Amino acid sequence: MQGCSLLPGKGKDPADGQPVAGVVRSGPAADSGKDEDKSDKDGKTDKDRPAKRDAFTVDVRGPEDVRDYLKLHLEIQRYRELDDLGATEISRLMVAAESNARELLGTLGYFTPTLTLELNETPESTKAPREIVITVSPGEITKVSNVQISYAGAIADDPSAEAQRDSIRTDWALRAGQPFTQQAWDSAKTTALRSLTAKRFPTGTIEISRAEVDADRSEARLSATYQSGPAYKFGPLVLRGIQRYDPDGARRIARLPSGQDYDQQKLLDAQQRLASSGYYDSVFLTLDTDSGNPLAAPVIAQLREAPLQKVVMGVGFTTDNGPRLSIDHIHNQVPLLGWRAVSRLSVDQDIKSLSTELNAIPDDRGWRWFTGAELKSEQSGSYVVDSGRLRGGRNKSSDHIDRSYFLQYDYAQNRGIDAPPSASAVTANWGWTGRYFDDNSAPTRGYGLALEVAAGYTLTGMQTPFTRTYARWLGVVPLGSAEDKESRARRSRLQLRVEAGAVSAKDNAQIPSTLMFLTGGDTTVRGYSYKQIGTVRTDGQIVAGRYLGVLSAEWQRPFVYKDKLTAWESVVFVDAGAVADKPGELKPKVGLGVGARWRSPVGPVQADLAYGVDSKRFRLHFRLGFTF
């Protein structure tokens, strides 16, 4: 049963319910004086009169979700501040409000509500002289009984598009048995359309969509027909805005897969490669669907080139090394070579460094030549280490994988009482890093793996061969199961991290300490200061060791406030790390604590309070961003 009633409250408005506010008066009383502090017979001025009240207030009563939604969206709320409304006008507004409320409830899936609207006089209220009470019994929510998805255009009969058709149907968000709401219906249609236009069919549209609601049975039958349009393939990259930099270099950086089926993600990847190259201040790639040739549609690249040279100054702070000052100089076309050079001077509490790195434009396969040099002085263990490094080789960065191979020269000298001797070495290196996270800047699931292998000779003292291996793995594992995206976002997670390293050489080999291992700090073993976990000599001094092992487990729990997901998370963690010159001497130092995470607009902000079990001290660790 549906129902609506207008119930008058106590008393009636004068003049048979006709409005009294807004009566137009004439005569001397109406025009006596300026619009300033006018006096009544009792001597009161405008300043003495009570504050202006609204014409009425609206009180919605019913289930919380329905009540809050109606309070926010009812159109009658717009008329509350009109102070010249009488009972008749308000009654007319109430009739319109009843129809408006039914429409709003329909968007929530309630098509058989019972509504009662009541008008009460509240002369003593400081808010308004009248109150409208809307009591809502929403009734049974409508649920989806059937979903029919069909296709028109090239996708309908293309055998190679079968997987895409099945994927759209499988991933359809509003399934049979779920509550029908306008928001869920619109979201399901839009999500399916994005899935259609993300690959091969960028001009796809919703040709027909229909929701047939049977209010008596509280059922909704849904149908949607998607018009795909023609299938598109990537054509040539058309560059606009090129002035000083090599157009062919831009094409090699973008690595657009011309001739392949259109894929929105591949287009975004090409755009990101150009944007992160440093040659352009802004990059925007679009597929030209108006060219008339879907099998070779041009991709338009709107570019704004970066200056040939620039200097960037920065300040920062880390709990590992305190305040930091840095100066970067960037040259996008080094004379003679034509390579890009980035030089940096960085000074903080424990580390002073001067470095430069030069990179060539990648070739057609994505590989590029690079070379670099660095001078550094840093506190490592019990000593200050002055070091130098030269390297040169090739590297390649793809969507998920970075590869490199290069030759490297290292020199290191320890400064301090009874410091280990200086050492130098040359190595041949290979590196591989794979990132398989759902979000590389703030992952909620996935994993990353990094491997480094080096073989070389010491150049100080007796020249002996040695090898160095290092591996790092980080995995983020959601706990529990969830069907929808909102529930998945609320799930807690377990983050696991493993590091291991080994330098194999004769006992008397003089290996630079920069090639050996120390740990401790914000991103390794919390509860201990930066690079203060190492091999402990008999005199108590801490030096870099040949073997490294680190384990970490962190429980991450999103923070929900008033049933709404926030940008905050709480964490509980335990870290353990050890360094030694022999595997059997590895004795882990443990740190444990709690922390908070905030998903800020510039990246995740992480703050941890850790207790070092071995050092018996608390340390605060603070950092910005996530990197692997």
User: For residue range 202-256, what is the model confidence (pLDDT) as tens digits?
Assistant: 999 999 999 999 988 999 999 999 999 999 999 999 999 999 999 999 999 999 9
User: For residue range 118-171, what is the model confidence (pLDDT) as tens digits?
Assistant: 988 888 888 888 888 999 999 999 999 999 999 999 999 889 999 999 999 999
User: For residue range 605-625, what is the model confidence (pLDDT) as tens digits?
Assistant: 999 999 999 999 999 999 988
Strand extents, DSSP E, 464-602: 465-478, 493-504, 535-536, 542-543, 547-561, 564-580, 589-600
Domain chopping of the chain, boundaries: 6-18+52-137, 143-227, 234-305, 362-624
Candidates 3.40.50, 3.10.20, 3.40.109, 1.10.10; CATH matching 6-18+52-137: 3.10.20
What is the rounded CA–CA span in Å between residue 459 and residue 169? 64
- Taking alpha carbons only, the member of 602, 608, 609, 610 closest to residue 626 is 602
Burial class (CB in 10 A: 0-12, 13-18, 19+), 40: exposed
Q: Looking at this protein, which amino acid is placed at residue 566? A: T
What is the rounded CA–CA span in Å between residue 609 and residue 572? 10
Helix (H) or strand (E) holding 249: helix 247-254
Structure tokens at 600: 């800020």
What is the rounded CA–CA span in Å between residue 573 and residue 577? 14
DSSP state of 486: H
Average pLDDT over residues 478-493: 78
For residue 38, pLDDT beyond 90: no
Q: Which ranges constitute the DSSP H helices of 80-237? A: 87-107, 154-157, 162-170, 182-197
In Å, how far from its chain's centre is CA 170? 26
Structure tokens at 579: 């360094």
For residue 27, pLDDT beyond 60: no
Beta bridge partners of 115: 136
User: Mean pLDDT lowest for which of 24-38, 178-192, 344-358, 485-499?
Assistant: 24-38
Domains 143-227 and 234-305 share a fold: yes
For residue 302, pLDDT beyond 90: yes
pLDDT value for 294? 94
List the Cα angle 271/277/344 in 5-degree steps.
150
What is the rounded CA–CA span in Å between residue 241 and residue 281? 11
pLDDT value for 53? 78
For residue 311, pLDDT beyond 90: yes
540: left (phi over 0), alpha (psi -120 to 50) or beta: left
Structure tokens at 182: 């306008």
What is the rounded CA–CA span in Å between residue 472 and residue 531? 17
What is the rounded CA–CA span in Å between residue 183 and residue 254? 38
Q: Which ranges constitute the DSSP H helices of 323-407? A: none
Strand extents, DSSP E, 350-464: 351-359, 368-380, 383-397, 401-415, 423-437, 446-458
Percent of the chain scoring above 90 in pLDDT: 72
pLDDT band, very low/low/confident/very high, at 440 (cuts 50, 70, 90): confident
pLDDT value for 130? 87
Q: In the CATH hierarchy, which fold is given to the domain comprising 234-305?
A: Ubiquitin-like (UB roll) (3.10.20)
User: Mean pLDDT lowest for which of 24-28, 374-378, 423-427, 535-539?
Assistant: 24-28
For residue 327, pLDDT beyond 80: yes
Give 1's Cβ-side CA count (13 Å radius): 3
User: Mean pLDDT lowest for which of 36-45, 127-136, 175-184, 436-445?
Assistant: 36-45
Average confidence score pLDDT of the chain: 88
CB 465 within 8 A of CB 457: yes
pLDDT band, very low/low/confident/very high, at 33 (cuts 50, 70, 90): very low
- Residues whose CB is less than 8 angstroms from the CB of residue 52 and which lie 6 or more positions away in sequence, other chains included: 83
CB 492 within 8 A of CB 557: yes
CB 180 within 8 A of CB 143: yes
Which CATH number is 143-227 given? 3.10.20.310
Structure tokens at 146: 């059937």
CB 109 within 8 A of CB 179: yes
Average pLDDT over residues 96-102: 93
Average pLDDT over residues 423-436: 97
For residue 564, pLDDT beyond 50: yes
pLDDT band, very low/low/confident/very high, at 50 (cuts 50, 70, 90): low
User: For residue range 486-533, what is the model confidence (pLDDT) as tens digits?
Assistant: 677 788 999 999 999 999 999 999 999 999 999 999 999 999 999 999
Q: In the CATH hierarchy, which fold is given to the domain comprising 362-624?
A: Porin (2.40.160)
What is the rounded CA–CA span in Å between residue 522 and residue 610? 10
In Å, how far from its chain's centre is CA 57? 41
pLDDT value for 484? 62
Structure tokens at 284: 């925007």
Average pLDDT over residues 8-13: 39
pLDDT value for 417? 86
CB 452 within 8 A of CB 431: yes
